[in-house]
Amino acid sequence: MYAVYILKCNDNSYYTGLTNDLDKRIWQHDTGFFPECYTFKRRPLKLVWVTIIETAAEANNLERRIKGWSREKKEALINDDIEELKRLSNYKKKTHEALRQAQGQIDYLIIGQGISGTWLSYYLQKANKTFLVIDNNQLNSASRIAAGLISPVTGRRIVKAWMINEFLAFVVPAYEEFGNELGIKTIEQKSLIDFHPTPQMKLAFDERLKENAEFLFQPKDQQLYAGSFNYDFGFGEVDPCYVVNLSDVMEAWRKKLLSDNHLLEEDFEIDKLQQTEKGVNYKNIKAEKIIFCDGISSAQNPFFKALPFALNKGEAILFESAGIPSTHIFKKGMMLTAVQDDLYWIGSNYLWEFPDDRPTEQFRRQTELHLKNWLKAPFRIVDHKASVRPANIERRPFVGLHPVYKNIGILNGMGTKGCSLAPFFARQLTEHLISGEEILPEADIKRFTRILMR
């Protein structure tokens, strides 16, 4: 069972949270157990509303919805004022058309508020450009399912990730700045403990360590994690790695977009898009340019479907357990990282052929068996998620304006590297749109001019 709750802070603001142990979590809030938490500097606190939900998925969904509500709507919920809740909900629906009309002529229309759309709208706002984001709040989008991991090495061959030094130098301070502006913790540095699943993988790690020790290390105490995990062939360490708090990043920015009237929560209907000499028209919205940041939908977009997308499906499990250190990311064939107290994410697989985007029983069984063999502590699976990633054959993103339709652009194709690629290339695209700065050739869609002109 899970509790979704609202606290009233000493500055009269409200904090919405989720826990599987309400008494413990309230004690943690009251005692300042989490110095980075919103409530730490706003004590004393008062619990003003709580409800009990059976599943983690339903509780997460409810928490996200309430976090996006206005103060008036939260107070109607706290006061159990059903009629006011209905009125405020209907008011939001009625204001959609008014919002479109109020926008009038804008600079940019952004389709999708995944990690790419979030960062592009962030940089356009910092550049004082007018924009509107259209997003349907799909709960199983790739950005919502991902764990938010950034690693400097990649693949079974443990090779250095493409441009990782440049990306880390940019994205770490970018996330920190983003978090400071919104009052949230966005990124945390952790090393990755890589348990070797076979003797061959240990040899591969050792050989790579001899060739390039920039990010790889061999800890001396190979029994350090024997109390928590089963492993037979030792482990290596990858440092630094980072974990991006994707759920808070996405929700905090969504809340700001809503409060600033920069977000329409609805499906985008591409057949309603019209090109003009001065830009594009969409329903009652006129924009200078439209940028598609809509993940897998771009693979069916008539302007960009010729790009070499290679969509793949990934699944992840959320499980509860005690006794697993939260100070590191762990890997033994699959990645494991802490989400919150005693709640962990493990994933993911890569399916290139799949009938749908739903979780599969096969992945659940395989992951449960993997955890039984790997963990020494008992565990309980609480959620199972799946999504389709907007990957591509080249493993390089799609960034820039269409070579024929100059008012139509794209920021997409990030695959599993969205947390590191999206901030960097959103900034590049913003500078390209505003001042004509060049986009990195390996990412610029100009490299596909021939196929896009067909």
Which residues, including other chains, have CB under 8 Å from residue 100's CB and lie 6 or more apart?
A: 264, 283, 284, 285
Residue 224 in this model has a pLDDT that exceeds 90: yes
Strand partners, 291: 110, 409
Phi and psi torsions of 272, nearest 5°? -90, 0
> Are residues 68 and 257 in contact, defined by beta-carbon separation less than 8 angstroms?
no
Strand partners, 330: 193, 336
pTM: 0.78
**Mean pLDDT (whole number) for 336-345:** 93
Strand partners, 280: 275, 287
**The two structure tokens encoding residue 409:** 């652009």
Class level of CATH domain 94-144+248-309+394-452? alpha beta
**The two structure tokens encoding residue 438:** 């060049």
The single residue listed with the structure tokens 């997003």 is 135
R_g (Cα) of the chain, nearest Å: 23
Domain with CATH 3.40.1440.10 in the chain: 2-80
Domain with CATH 3.50.50.60 in the chain: 94-144+248-309+394-452
Rounded CA-CA distance 11/33 in Å is: 19
CATH number of 2-80, picked from 3.40.190.10, 3.40.50.10440, 3.40.1440.10, 3.10.150.10: 3.40.1440.10
Give the Å distances, CA to CA, from 252 to 118, 129, 237, 246, 249: 10, 20, 32, 10, 5
More reliable by pLDDT, 85 or 215: 215
Q: Which long-range contacts link 333-336 to residues 24+ away (Cβ below 8 Å)?
A: 333/197, 333/370, 334/367, 334/370, 335/147, 335/149
Query: What pLDDT, in 10s, does the model give residues 410-453?
Result: 999 998 899 999 999 999 999 999 999 999 999 999 999 999 99
Percent of all residues in the chain with a pLDDT value above 70, rounded to a whole number: 96
More reliable by pLDDT, 277 or 304: 304
Q: Largest Cα–Cα distance in the chain? A: 68
Segment among 59-73, 377-391, 411-425 with least mean pLDDT = 59-73
> Are residues 286 and 104 in contact, defined by beta-carbon separation less than 8 angstroms?
yes
Residue 230 in this model has a pLDDT that exceeds 90: yes
Write down the pLDDT at residue 67.
Answer: 84
Percent of all residues in the chain with a pLDDT value above 90, rounded to a whole number: 72
The single residue listed with the structure tokens 């309980």 is 380
Q: Which of 257, 251, 293, 286 is nearest to 412 (CA)?
A: 293
HSE at residue 309, side-chain half, CA atoms within 13 A, is 20
Residue type, 295: G
Segment among 27-36, 45-54, 375-384, 424-433 with least mean pLDDT = 27-36
Query: What pLDDT, in 10s, does the model give residues 73-114?
Result: 899 899 988 788 877 766 554 444 444 444 458 899 999 999
- In the chain, the N- to C-terminal Cα span, in Å, equals 55
Write down the pLDDT at residue 339.
Answer: 92
Rounded CA-CA distance 347/120 in Å is: 27
CB atoms within 10 A of CB 23: 9
More reliable by pLDDT, 52 or 110: 110
Rounded CA-CA distance 395/414 in Å is: 8
Taking all residues of the chain, what is their mean pLDDT, rounded to a whole number?
91
Rounded CA-CA distance 119/425 in Å is: 9
